[in-house]
Each structure stands twice: as C-alpha cells, then as structure tokens.
Amino acid sequence: MKTSMEGWGSGLTGVVIFSGSLPATRLAVGDFSPLFLTSARAVIAGTLAAIFLLALRQARPRWDNLLSLAVVALGVVVGFPLLTAIALQYVTAAHSAVFIGLLPLATAIFGVLRGGERPKPLFWLFSCIGSATVVGFALTAGVEVSLVGDLLMVAAVILCGLGYAEGAKLSRAIGGWQVICWALVLSLPPMAVIALLWLPDAWSGIAPRAWAGLFYVSVFSMLVGFFFWYRGLAKGGIAAVGQLQLLQPFFGLLIAAVLLHEKVSPFMIATTLAVVLCVAGARKFAR
C-alpha cells in the first residue's frame, strides 16, 4: 500500500510538471522551428543527464536494455516533442487538450501490451469515461479544427503512450530517473547534429518568451518531470498511475489562472471533479 501511494504521489508531481509543456512549446515554436526546438531540448536535457550519470557513477545499461531505451527515446525524446511542436503550428494549445485526454488510455493499453498488466474490466470503464469527459470538455471550448494538426496529435499520443509504458517497465530494473537519462544520452549524438543543421538564421529576433519556453521544455518537461513520472508508473502501476494524466489539462488551467489571470469557470471545476472521480475509480480497479 505504501509503495502504491508513493507511486501516485510521484506520478501526480510528474503530471503537474508536464502540465506546462504544451503552453511552453506553443511559446517556443513562435520563434524556433519544430526540428530545432525538438533537437535543442533533447541536447540540453541530454547534456544534463550525462552529467548526472557521471557524477553519480551510474553503471551502463546492459545490451539487452538498449532496445527498450531506443523505444523510450523514440516515444518521449523525439516523437512526442516533434509531432506536438509541428501540430501546434496548426492548432491551439487548448485544442491539443482533446488529445492529451486520450493519453492515459493509450498508456494503459501499452501497459497491457508491454508491461504485462491486467486491469479489471471496470478499470477500462472508468478510463474511457474519464477520457470522454476530458475530450468533451475540450470540444465545448469552441476550438479550431485542423486535420493535419489532429493527425499529428494522434500520432504523438500513440508514441508517447508507448514511451511511457516501455520506460515504466524498464525503470523496474534500472530505476526511473536512470531510464530517461540513458534514453536522452542515447539520443544526444543525432539530436546534436540536427540542432546544428537547423540553427536559427538570426538570434537577435528571438523573443524572451520563446527562450523561456525552450528552457521549460528542456529542463522540466524533458528531464525533471520524468524523474517523478517513471518512478510513479513503476511503483503504482502503469495503467493505474497513467490515469493521473486526465488531470493534466486542468492543472494547465490552474496554472493559467494563477500566472495569466485567466478565468476558471464553474463548469471547469465541475468537470475536474468528475475526472477526479474517474481517476479514483480507475485506481480502485487497476489490479
């Protein structure tokens, strides 16, 4: 029970950190190209990861772990950041919440396929209701529609769910923070080459908010958040803790209300409470 609660606490911390990822990406792609943004954030996070691994004298992963690390890198280091960065050139951050609402379900499915988990039937009921609630909320906001942006977000969600599940499975063997650090180090050489090839033509015109967005997604979204997230998935269960992602759009709303003074309506609060009940129900029947 203690391990499960530790997992949920770590997972919730990770979700709070990830809540600022899409808004920060939206700020950054205003002045950086998607390819440079994706590669630059991976290079920055990968450099920090290498420093952590060397300073703490971590043993190299075994050869049989390299394939899993490559899958993690494909999903969360390259795939999700690149596809969302491109998608956010076509759709708003609000519209992307429709698809983030589907991420817990994707993570649970890959948790079954890759992690060997077997949630109870009622878990899937609560998971689907929670996902539908988040999607329904996002659709009521009158978001703009773009087929290209939508397809890119669907692909991003699939790759991210795979990366989450594969990383959680591997973290049981080598540790949560070690998984994301080694995945970043593995990605570092090709990402460094791409970053050099896609350097901005001029640095003087890049706005401070774009730099702030790049800093956030590099340090927090790409590295620090995963320290908590993979630990949570490993200790609390991939399918169960993954449901906490249903709260991510609403944490984003709270951040916007505090920092940007945006209005939080009673409907938002009611929807959040409904999602919390779905998360609680999914947790109860996850195993």
37-69: pLDDT as tens digits:
999 999 999 999 999 999 999 989 999 999 999
Torsion of CA 148, 145, 133, 83, to 10 degrees: 30
Output Rg (C-alpha) for the chain, integer angstroms: 18
User: Residue 138 above 70 pLDDT?
Assistant: no
Is the pLDDT at 3 greater than 70? The verdict is no
Q: What is the reported pLDDT for 91? A: 73
pLDDT score at 100: 75
Among 10-19, 208-217, 236-245, the least confident range: 236-245
Greater confidence (163 vs 20) lies with 163
pLDDT at 1 over 60: no
From the list 189, 230, 243, the residue with the least C-alpha distance to 72 is 230
Residues 6+ apart with CB under 8 A from 50: 181, 184, 185, 188
Res 21 pLDDT > 90: no
| pLDDT for residue 141 is more than 60 | no
Question: Above pLDDT 90, what percent of the chain?
Answer: 39
Rounded Cα–Cα distance for residues 31 and 269 (Å): 34
Residue 119 binned pLDDT confidence (cut-offs 50, 70, 90): confident
Put residue 142 in one of left, alpha, beta given phi > 0 → left and psi -120 to 50 → alpha.
left
State residue 103's pLDDT score: 81
CB 28 within 8 Å of CB 210: yes
Residues 6 or more apart whose Cβ sits within 8 Å of residue 93: 22, 23, 25, 26, 252
DSSP codes joined into one string, 156-185: HHHHHHHHHHHHHHHHHHH-HHHHHHHHHH
- Please give the pLDDT value at position 102: 76
Token duo for residue 178? 């070690």
Give pTM, 2 decimals: 0.83
Q: Can you read off the two tokens belonging to residue 179?
A: 């998984």
Task: Round to whole Å and give the CA distance between 271 and 250.
Answer: 9
**Given a cut of 80, is residue 257 above it in pLDDT?**
no
Neighbours of 122 (CB within 10 A): 13
27 by DSSP, 3-state: which? helix
For residue 266, pLDDT beyond 80: no
Flag whether pLDDT at 221 surpasses 80. yes
pLDDT of residue 156: 93
Tell me the average pLDDT across 71-78. 95
Residues constituting the chain: 287
Residue with the bigger pLDDT between 91 and 25: it is: 25
- Which residues, 6+ apart, have CB-to-CB distance to 39 below 8 Å? 191, 192, 194, 195, 198
Query: Residue 29 pLDDT more than 60?
Result: yes
Using N-to-C axis directions, what is the helix angle for 248-260 and 93-100, rounded to 10°?
150
Closest CA to 230 of 111, 140, 98: 111
Residue 160 pLDDT > 60, yes or no?
Answer: yes
Query: Residue for token digits 């350097």?
Result: 199
Cα(130)–Cα(281) distance, integer angstroms: 10
Average pLDDT over residues 137-147: 61
